[in-house]
Amino acid sequence: MDTHTLELLQFGRVRSLVASYAASPLGREAALAIEPSTDPGEIRHRQALTTEMTDALAAGLSPPLAGLIDVRGAVRRAAIGATLDAEELADIASTLRIIADVDRWLSRIGDSFPRLGALKQEVGEFSGVANAIDGCLDARGIVLDTASRRLSEIRREIGVAEERIQETLRRMLRSPEIRRILRYPNFTVVGQHYVLPVARDHRGELKGSVHRTSASNETVYIEPQAVAEQSAQLSYLRSKETKEVRRILRWLSAQVGQVAEPLGTTLDVMAGLDLVLCRGRFSLDYRMTPPDLNTEGRILLRGARHPILEHLFREETKRLRAEAEAEARQASDADPADGEGGADGPGNGESDTGSGGFAVGFHQPPVGTIARPPESTGPVRGFHELPVGSRVPWVAPPEFRFDRDLFQPPVGRPADLGEAGSDETPSAGPTVTFRRLPEPEPFESEQELKGGLSGRPVEQRRRERGEAGGSGPAASTRTPGSEAEPSRSRPDIPTREVVPIDLHLGLQFNLLVITGPNTGGKTVALKTVGLLAVMAQCGMHIPAKQGSQVTVLDDVLADIGDEQSLEQSLSTFSSHIRRITEILRKATDRSLVLMDEVGAGTDPAEGAALGRAILDELDNTGCRAIVTTHIGDLKTYAFSNPRAENAAVEFDVETLQPRYRVHIGDIGASNALQIARRLSMPPHLVDRASWYLDRRRQSGEDTPEWEAVQRMRSEAEQARQEAMAQQAEAERTRAALAQKLADLQSQAERDARLADSRARLQPGDRVVVPRLGYDRPGRVVRIDPKKNKAVVAIGQMNWDVTIDELIPQVLKTPEAPTPHRGLSAAQQGGRSR
């Protein structure tokens, strides 16, 4: 797919998110290199694997990939005859053991998850190589004495030689003359030589070879001449040991080289399985669902969420919680009185949260709740109304209780704690002062998402702060004994959520024109559709509701954001035209085109004409396209083209806050006059603008006739949405009933075959009695169909059983599964039952 579009959609961030769930370096590397496929069969296979993995993880059946090491480089070197070192061979042995565990795991889940189980066919058998390495090396990569008889004998001789040297040195250390010249009374090892630490002033009093001096030159390490001959013998033995170890490593490397090709294939399978594990974990963590794939160009997203934006909100919540906990600990450490509370309060070292240092009521609020400080006044803003990157300010209540038995510092907005008792008499007790701090700037990474989430204007934030607490810093004090008793629970840390959108394309129309004010979420809607389409073709589930549909695209082409190029001397308009020209050249009837602010950057009349021409060209191409615009003339394009439709992002005029929802069939208004009036523009200027607007409409330059058409199209779209939802529910019900009917028919066929086989049983036929164990087949001794009884010989005993218990061995039924490696007969029987 178009690499520039993947950069605009920030697909690299999604790759990194997926890679963070990897169990091994193999999976991480595969996740960072994942690419969307354009083959419908391959995409369906990837989606099916992801679905099976999510089901397996939900059932607690995670593949044992932890600890898997990327040894492909070492295996390739072994294949060309290189000798691997002991650490590399130990890593290979560890990897082979994990491969064996994964092989057994695939065998166990193969019946329930056939696509995952099919991966076992490409997993090789390397127990011989693993046993060879384990017999020669330990887990730390050290060659064992038992690796060869010759190595064992050499190391025994080395031990004897070292013991002789040490005994000689111990005998020397018992001499008063030797102890007098030493820095400390003991010997040590330098390299492979035993030496004595001699003081610098006495270095000439001990005959021997100097091997090292200390950094201060106060100590000289001398190998005594008395052990020189024995040291030479020890060096000779160690060289023999090195040669033998080298020979063993060469032999083990040759064993690895012989299986290099199948081992490389198996490691690729492990990387693929770990990638599927990444996709499964990502799906479960972000509450994703598998999309319904089609090749007819239908895109239907229900409750779609932008995964990167959701990740940013999660990280922000973690950061706020960490800051709140740090502030709570600092406040607790700053006031020693907190640790002197009564027996019933947290001062005794216990809290209702179960860990010391945390106040009562510290918990994460339910998803979607609105944060309201205790006993606060004024309007409460929902989290969807706050700018991206801003923190939720903690508004101090009118009076805040400070109690030595229960101190609850604010959570959320950092507060400066004044010195206790600075402005009060000793009898009044301590006083706590809260001062509001300035809000930080939005996250740069969130600003990259653009469109509708860039935050409120600075003037508006300042005005809101002034309304909440006046022009100066908001402050509130309270001393013990006052009348007000605020809640003892700490303010919760609110959790922001991505507002889901509903959008469809390729059903009744192929072109969607989204309009609405800035910061309303138009660009995020574009990126959400494009990113989810790419994710689906990578085999990932998408963050949307069940029943969402995604078509198989040959390319996703996007023109989003300001791509002004200083190096190429291109203006914003020129760069957009250049990109649009490239898009129109590449687009086909199986492409998805995303254009932001089409026709902008030039004269409105010319921009509208150019925008209409671009939409006509996209319509003639037959591709699926979503464009955003502020140009009024383009808002009516859908009225003259039955294959196009309007959409608008929701905006609350009263609160001047975007709601980030997309309404298909509506036309977004700029609401410039209402916004200007609420932003305290002089009333006479707004009135004059309204007079000019009314005059323009009366002159016929701007007729509102399209409003009636818009209303009818909006009502039709709402009815269409309800019909599609009912159709999707009916399709799911039909599929579930069809599957249940197929299962019942299959079970009935199996029961009929089993009954027929039982009716034809004769003495001497081999049968299995499940309650006596599947691994203990027997033979029919006699059979009485009238009494429905039979006698079966199993081992040395005869058993009286009913005919209904018998399973003829010539009949393969689900009741008689094949034994799995690693499971006993009792486990097999329990598993089947």
The pLDDT of residue 119 is above 90: yes
Residue 78 token pair: 């072994």
Q: Mean pLDDT lowest for which of 252-266, 524-538, 744-758, 765-779?
A: 765-779
Residue (of 100, 98, 89) closest to 134 by Cα position: 89
DSSP 309-330: HHHHHHHHHHHHHHHHHHHHHH
Position 832 scores a pLDDT of 37
User: Each residue of 15-32: pLDDT tens digit?
Assistant: 999 999 999 999 999 999
The pLDDT of residue 745 is above 70: yes
The pLDDT of residue 273 is above 90: yes
Residue 82 token pair: 């290189």
Distance CA(181)–CA(196), nearest Å, equals 10
Strand 188-190 relative to strand 591-595: parallel, antiparallel, unpaired? Answer: unpaired
Residue (of 663, 678, 756, 673) closest to 711 by Cα position: 663
For the purposes of burial, counting CB atoms within 10 Å of the CB of 584, is it exposed (0-12), middle (13-18) or buried (19 or more)? middle
Grouping H, G, I as helix, E, B as strand and the rest as coil, residue 734 is helix
Residue (of 671, 300, 389, 720) closest to 518 by Cα position: 671
Position 827 scores a pLDDT of 40
Position 266 scores a pLDDT of 95
Distance CA(228)–CA(209), nearest Å, equals 8
The pLDDT of residue 543 is above 90: yes
Q: Between 68 and 522, whose confidence is greater?
A: 68
Distance CA(541)–CA(553), nearest Å, equals 16
Name the pLDDT band for 753 (thresholds 50, 70, 90).
confident
CB atoms within 10 A of CB 68: 26
| Average pLDDT value for residue range 451-461 | 41
Name the pLDDT band for 713 (thresholds 50, 70, 90).
low
Q: Between 161 and 708, whose confidence is greater?
A: 161
Phi, psi of 651, deg, nearest 5: -145, 130
Mean of per-residue pLDDT scores for the chain: 76
Name the pLDDT band for 608 (thresholds 50, 70, 90).
confident
Position 712 scores a pLDDT of 64
Q: Mean pLDDT lowest for which of 415-419, 525-529, 641-645?
A: 415-419
- Euclidean distance between the first and final Cα of the chain, in Å? 50
Return the amino acid letter for 520. G
DSSP 551-567: E--SEEEEE-S---BTT
Residues in the chain, overall count? 833
Residue (of 103, 161, 169, 160) closest to 130 by Cα position: 103
Phi, psi of 773, deg, nearest 5: 110, 130
Name the pLDDT band for 55 (thresholds 50, 70, 90).
very high
- CA–CA distance from 264 to each of 93, 125, 267, 285 (Å)? 14, 12, 5, 31
The pLDDT of residue 334 is above 80: no
The pLDDT of residue 433 is above 80: no
Position 642 scores a pLDDT of 86
| Average pLDDT value for residue range 736-740 | 80
Domains and CATH numbers, the chain: 7-126+259-287 (1.10.1420.10), 147-235 (1.10.1420.10), 509-526+550-725 (3.40.50.300), 760-832 (2.30.30.30)
Question: Is-contact 221 211, C-beta < 8 A?
Answer: yes
Position 811 scores a pLDDT of 47
Position 7 scores a pLDDT of 92
The pLDDT of residue 429 is above 50: no
The pLDDT of residue 503 is above 70: yes
Q: Between 476 and 449, whose confidence is greater?
A: 449
Position 497 scores a pLDDT of 83
Q: Mean pLDDT lowest for which of 11-15, 418-422, 557-561?
A: 418-422
Phi, psi of 574, deg, nearest 5: -65, -40
CB atoms within 10 A of CB 479: 18
Q: Mean pLDDT lowest for which of 43-47, 470-474, 783-787?
A: 470-474
User: Each residue of 761-771: pLDDT tens digit?
Assistant: 888 888 888 87
Position 26 scores a pLDDT of 94
Position 175 scores a pLDDT of 86
Place of tokens 């990837």: 46
Q: What stretch of H or E contains 672?
A: helix 672-678
Q: How many helices (H) and strands (E) does the chain have?
A: 22, 19
The pLDDT of residue 772 is above 90: no
Position 64 scores a pLDDT of 94
Q: C-alpha dihedral over 795, 799, 802, 808, to 10 degrees?
A: 10
User: Each residue of 179-214: pLDDT tens digit?
Assistant: 888 888 888 888 888 999 988 888 788 888 888 888
| Average pLDDT value for residue range 271-287 | 95
Residue (of 496, 500, 495) closest to 525 by Cα position: 500
Position 28 scores a pLDDT of 95
Position 444 scores a pLDDT of 43
| Average pLDDT value for residue range 148-160 | 92
Name the pLDDT band for 544 (thresholds 50, 70, 90).
very high
Non-local CB neighbours of 609 within 8 Å, separated by 6+ positions: none
Q: Percent of the chain, pLDDT > 70?
A: 71
Q: Percent of the chain, pLDDT > 90?
A: 35
The pLDDT of residue 222 is above 90: no
Residue (of 662, 623, 631, 669) closest to 528 by Cα position: 662
Residue 475 token pair: 């402050």
